[in-house]
Amino acid sequence: MRPLFPPGSNSVFRLVLVGAALSVVTLVAAPMIYVRSPLHTDENHVVAQPIDFDHRHHVRDDGIDCRFCHFSVETSPSAGLPATDVCLGCHAQIWNKSPLLAPLRRSFFTGEPLHWKRVSRVPDFVYFDHAIHVAKGVGCETCHGRVDQMPAIAQKAPLTMGWCLDCHRDPAPNLRPRSAITAMGWKPEGDPRRLGEALMTAYHVHTRTSCTACHR
């Protein structure tokens, strides 16, 4: 008489047991991995903008300082986007017939502002302040990446709370002199940690990890 369970049944049963255990782990682990992956954090994701603005050209080729357009980065929580008349400060003279800039001219003459799509976004309950980070020696590049190499702007850091806290717990490696705040591709000379710690003293950098430092 044939046995009810063939000899391979034991192996199948063991595989099923292992598989069940694995799937439980996967159910928990997969979402945790997913929310940390660029799929969810939107890293490197390019968003279509009303004007195909090329940071590579403006920063690298023209050598325009970040603060020329993002004028409130040193004084306000918001870095600020240039008003239409700031753009036209140059573009009334150069490329003033370019069809690419038609939305800009339309904005100026109709008074209807440009609607840029946000690229780097933190949730509503996070109160990020550009001014204090710049004052403490956190460079633009540290969070926003090599903007001078981006034809279209994309988010370069995960902007997760863990990423924020990494720096808030140990800011030294991410600090630079204020003179190099907007520099792209800046590298510290000498021992990076020694420099960072010197800057922490010079700029009175305190490691703040209390919840209300960011959530209010």
Partner 1 sequence: MPPLISDEDPGAVSRRGFLQLLGGIAAAGLEGCFRAPAGEIVPYVRTPEGAVPGNPLHYATALSLDGFALGVVATSYEGRPVKIEGNPLHPESLGATRIFEQASLFQLYDPARARDALERGEPRAWRTFLDATGKRARELRSRRGAGLWFLLEPGASPTIAALRARLQEALPECRLRSWSALAPDAASAGARIAFGRPLEARIAPARAEVIAVLDDDFAQDHVREARELADRRVPGPQLCRLYVAEARPSATGTLADHRLPIRAGRIEALAVALVKTLADRLPSPPELRALRVSVGPEEARWVQALAADLASRPGAGLVVAGRRQPPAVHAAAHAVNALLGNLGASVTFRAPLLHDPLAGRAVIAELAAAMAAGAVDTLVVSAYNPCFGAPPELDFAAKLLQVPFSVYLGARADETAAAATWFLPAAHPFETWGDARGSDGTASIVQPLLAPLFGGVSEVDLLAAFLGDPRPAHEIVRATWSASRPAPDFGAFWQRSLQRGVVDGTATPEVRPEPRWDAIAGALHAAAPAASGPIELDLYPDAKVFDGRFAPNRWLQELPDPVTKQTWGNAALLAPATAQRLGIGTGDHLRLVVGAQVVTVPALLLPGTAEDAVALALGYGGSEAPADHRGGDGYRLRGRGQDWIVPGVRVEPAGGREELAITQGHFRLEGRDLARQVTVAELPSLGGVEVPLSIYPPVDYPGHRWGLSIDLARCTGCSACVMACASENNTPVVGHAEVVLGREMHWLRIDRYLEGPDAAPEAITMPLMCVHCEDAPCEYVCPVNATVHSDEGLNEMIYNRCVGTRYCSNNCPYKVRRFNFLDWGYQKGPVLRMLQNPDVTVRSRGVMEKCTYCVQRIERARIDAQVSGRTLRDGDIRTACQQACPTRAIVFGDLADAGSEVSRLHRDRRAYALLGELGTRPRTLHLARVKNPNPALAEG
- The whole-angstrom distance between residue 15's C-alpha and the CA centroid of its chain comes to 43
Q: Which of 136, 111, 150 is nearest to 206 (CA)?
A: 136
Amino acid at the residue 70: H
Do 156 and 38 touch, CB atoms closer than 8 A? no
Question: Residue 160 corresponds to which tokens in the numbers above?
Answer: 């997760």
Other C-beta atoms closer than 10 Å to the C-beta of 130 total 20
Q: Is 111 in the site for partner 1 (CB under 8 A)?
A: yes
Residue from 86, 172, 180, 200 in contact with partner 1 (CB under 8 A)? 86
Residue from 43, 74, 177, 180 in contact with partner 1 (CB under 8 A)? 74
Q: What is the x/- site pattern for partner 1, positions 161-180, by CB under 8 A?
A: --------------------
Q: Is 47 in the site for partner 1 (CB under 8 A)?
A: yes
Helical (H) or strand (E) element with 68: helix 66-69
Residue from 2, 97, 187, 204 in contact with partner 1 (CB under 8 A)? 204
Decide whether 11 or 212 has the Cβ nearer to partner 1: 212
What are the C-alpha distances in Å from 85 to residues 79, 88, 207? Answer: 17, 5, 39
- Positions touching partner 1 (CB under 8 A) are 31, 34-35, 40, 42, 47, 72, 74-78, 80-86, 107-108, 111-119, 121, 123-125, 127, 129, 131-132, 135-136, 204, 206, 208-213, 215-216
